[in-house]
Structure 1
């Protein structure tokens, strides 16, 4: 089996004094389209949570975020619901190195409102306002680039619409938000809310984020009920989150953190995934490798109608890159989550190998110090991954395309109105000191058992 050419991380180069500002403007209420500036690869920080890790405070989150920035990542997705995620991300972005090298205007912060706990949702105006104020404080910023209404399927359409309208008031009157969207799981409900917002307000949503709906197991987001319907509703960008389906599509199964097994997949679906993993093993691959590469690479084109032209992070050292270097068309936007530096290194290796196969990617790869035959290798790798992806889908059988119910039958919102004031400033669990930020260094990528990725 051919080995992956070694990539030289962009962070091996001398650090510059300051990164350039992302081109954003707002004149007479007309904003730069999100799709022209949002990076197509977003760092998701749901992993900075007790759901995915037994102790997120023990992770080197400051070093991880710094490494992401030095690797060219320019967008971070978080949520108040992700335990200490906002706090850890905010502390990482507030370190002296990051502040001196990466001004706030050089990267995006995406967060959410509305989901308070596993069974608690509050989309009321008072809570939306308090949640935004708390996020600004935790993230050490005076504005948020994009705010989603988190998991809209757990509230009524009227509640979702009220929250969107309030977020727009904050945007227009206070300037603390730039773009507004919704997120959630059920494809049909996301489309329904996007259409409702357009119909009732005359203004489409800037973004609709779906998770676990464009993976090896479920590709509904790419069909007429997904991106086509959202595009027709005027949605500008549709990020695809959780390409591993919240860890389901891994050889070792779903991650079990301090909160126990949270994944909604049934025993039968998990059994089918294990059979698919055994199939990949027999062909010298790991399920998560095929799942990551397939989702990222295929969504680049499948998600292009609601994609973006932002900095692709192709690895040219310390250059504010343009997607003109890799074809110039919109690229479908993906959200990836990692917990440790080796996972980040390997994910970036996969991402850049994918970019190498795009128009102009070969020349960009050479500029970044990669193999002069990177374009050819990427195209051949794409064919191999596609063949195995089709094999996985055959093994999944009737489970291919399956979506679990969200919310589960019998769900009742446990949120009480009086909780709003009481919970607004509730402290997070007391953390151990998060490790100091250390800029990423070049050299060999170490082994990582939890997410072994190959380009």
Structure 2
């Protein structure tokens, strides 16, 4: 279990005004459209896991979540598959400061069902109910804003349909508000969205794709991606993992306590290292270019399945409304960080991106920021675009490449007839601080690529 959350003195010295609720309502079965309230920047907590960090219990997760809230982030994405992530996030949201200043209705919680481990999936109605009940308990809440079927490519369409139907029953019972699916292969996401619409007569609310709109792979923006999903009635399509699960970093893929889990090949990694060297020669880090490019470009490219939810301002205690940044839909992105420095850098990048949107010039002046912030943002956008094109030239054949998911020969080891009570699953126990193994070198990964964690986004 996670340790008792520790609050920072800077967050407890004064109590700002209680934050306003996100305007959700449900009347006669008609819910507020997700595309009108989902914030365009979502904090992903896959980093609160042993895949990305040697010991997630050692991370200042309470400080990260609190700081994210104070900088305007109003949505958090997690999953039972992310080890202790739900526990750590739930404890961070349960501190007296957060509960007093950020009531439950002022932010959104997104989680998932179905994926248990690397080779175990259970999409049965029984497991969906048990998983949601467990998530509610871990996250200290009586409802979940959005629940995805996790990594749908690993199961059959019939299993996905069963899980979606059960999630809709839980939605009608008030346990959750919106239902989505997520996964990696673009074609599978399109197939599943179309199947759900065809079989139920009602579209899925949200489809989250990861690592498919990055410097390395932009198929989510094409006709097989967001256009196909929009045609299937999908309201919102968030883009997760703008760094390709940490692939697009100077130090290479993240190596946590579980070793090198990243599915990319040696050849793809070598191409990214060349691209990173190219960025170095121009005084930039590839992860900074990758992050800004994906966030800034997806705001417009993903707008057709975006949201008018209020964006994070990126500044402490400064509220920003959608009207302040032009009033149009913005493509939704999911970012993840492991430490305060990464969060600060990400918020600075996001603030600059927001400054460059329509009305940014006037907004900056009204807020007392530099009157040339809009101009600087637009010039920075041009520089990032130029380097992004250079990176894509260097990637060559690896640009738009997608790895296999699942790998050939995958077998789901979960037995459908397993009956397990909530809290007594046959899962491997989480590694605790005392039990966390010492991170050992992974063959073929140079030492200098293992020194920093960087911004591993998933």
Alignment of 1:378 with 2:381, yes or no, is no
Any conservation in 2 of the 1:317–1:368 contact (CA below 8 Å)? no
Once the two structures are TM-superposed, the CA of residue 77 in structure 1 deviates from its matched residue by: 0.1
Distance change (3 Å), C-alpha of 1:451 and 1:257: closer
Q: Give deviations 1:293-320, integer Å, cap 9, x for gaps.
A: 0000000000000000111112466454
Once the two structures are TM-superposed, the CA of residue 370 in structure 1 deviates from its matched residue by: 2.9
Any conservation in 2 of the 1:316–1:368 contact (CA below 8 Å)? no
The match for 2:437 is: none
5 Å-filtered alignment, 1:323-334, equals 323-334=322-333
5 Å-filtered alignment, 1:311-322, equals 311-315=310-314, 318=317, 320-322=319-321
Distance change (3 Å), C-alpha of 1:210 and 1:376: same
Once the two structures are TM-superposed, the CA of residue 451 in structure 1 deviates from its matched residue by: 3.4
Count residues in correspondence: 429
Any conservation in 1 of the 2:313–2:319 contact (CA below 8 Å)? no
Once the two structures are TM-superposed, the CA of residue 366 in structure 1 deviates from its matched residue by: 3.5
Alignment of 1:402 with 2:401, yes or no, is yes
The match for 1:60 is: 60
Once the two structures are TM-superposed, the CA of residue 125 in structure 1 deviates from its matched residue by: 0.6
Distance change (3 Å), C-alpha of 1:368 and 1:56: farther
Q: Give deviations 1:196-223, integer Å, cap 9, x for gaps.
A: 1111111111100000000000000000
Distance change (3 Å), C-alpha of 1:45 and 1:367: farther
**Partners of 1:300 and 1:13 in 2: how far apart?**
36
**Partners of 1:159 and 1:82 in 2: how far apart?**
21
**Partners of 1:333 and 1:65 in 2: how far apart?**
19
The match for 1:275 is: 274
Any conservation in 2 of the 1:314–1:364 contact (CA below 8 Å)? no
**Partners of 1:221 and 1:200 in 2: how far apart?**
24
5 Å-filtered alignment, 1:76-95, equals 76-95=76-95
Alignment of 1:451 with 2:447, yes or no, is no
The match for 2:430 is: 429
Distance change (3 Å), C-alpha of 1:280 and 1:12: farther
**Partners of 1:452 and 1:211 in 2: how far apart?**
15
**Partners of 1:269 and 1:46 in 2: how far apart?**
23
**Partners of 1:423 and 1:118 in 2: how far apart?**
20
Once the two structures are TM-superposed, the CA of residue 362 in structure 1 deviates from its matched residue by: 2.3
The match for 2:50 is: 50
The match for 1:416 is: 415
**Partners of 1:163 and 1:198 in 2: how far apart?**
14
**Partners of 1:246 and 1:316 in 2: how far apart?**
26
The match for 2:3 is: none
Root-mean-square deviation over aligned CA pairs: 2.0
Distance change (3 Å), C-alpha of 1:49 and 1:452: closer
The match for 1:241 is: 240
5 Å-filtered alignment, 1:74-113, equals 74-113=74-113
The match for 1:18 is: 18
Once the two structures are TM-superposed, the CA of residue 14 in structure 1 deviates from its matched residue by: 6.1
Distance change (3 Å), C-alpha of 1:320 and 1:278: closer
5 Å-filtered alignment, 1:120-135, equals 120-135=120-135
**Partners of 1:61 and 1:316 in 2: how far apart?**
19
The match for 2:447 is: none
Bigger drift between 87-96 and 315-324 goes to 315-324
Distance change (3 Å), C-alpha of 1:344 and 1:319: closer
Bigger drift between 422-431 and 163-172 goes to 422-431
Q: Give deviations 1:3-45, integer Å, cap 9, x for gaps.
A: xxxxxxx989964231111100000000000000000000000
**Partners of 1:102 and 1:256 in 2: how far apart?**
34
Distance change (3 Å), C-alpha of 1:156 and 1:397: same
The match for 1:443 is: none
The match for 1:307 is: 306
**Partners of 2:250 and 2:315 in 1: how far apart?**
33
**Partners of 2:382 and 2:13 in 1: how far apart?**
33
The match for 1:437 is: none
**Partners of 1:157 and 1:97 in 2: how far apart?**
43
Q: Secondary structure at the match of 1:43?
A: strand
Distance change (3 Å), C-alpha of 1:13 and 1:373: farther
Distance change (3 Å), C-alpha of 1:15 and 1:380: farther
Any conservation in 1 of the 2:314–2:350 contact (CA below 8 Å)? no
The match for 1:204 is: 203
**Partners of 1:408 and 1:452 in 2: how far apart?**
26
**Partners of 2:13 and 2:250 in 1: how far apart?**
35
Bigger drift between 366-375 and 199-208 goes to 366-375
Any conservation in 2 of the 1:113–1:132 contact (CA below 8 Å)? yes
Structure 1: which 5+ runs fail to align? 1-9, 434-447
Once the two structures are TM-superposed, the CA of residue 285 in structure 1 deviates from its matched residue by: 0.8
Alignment of 1:177 with 2:176, yes or no, is yes
**Partners of 1:64 and 1:318 in 2: how far apart?**
15
Structure 2: which 5+ runs fail to align? 1-9, 435-450
**Partners of 2:284 and 2:41 in 1: how far apart?**
24
Distance change (3 Å), C-alpha of 1:244 and 1:13: farther
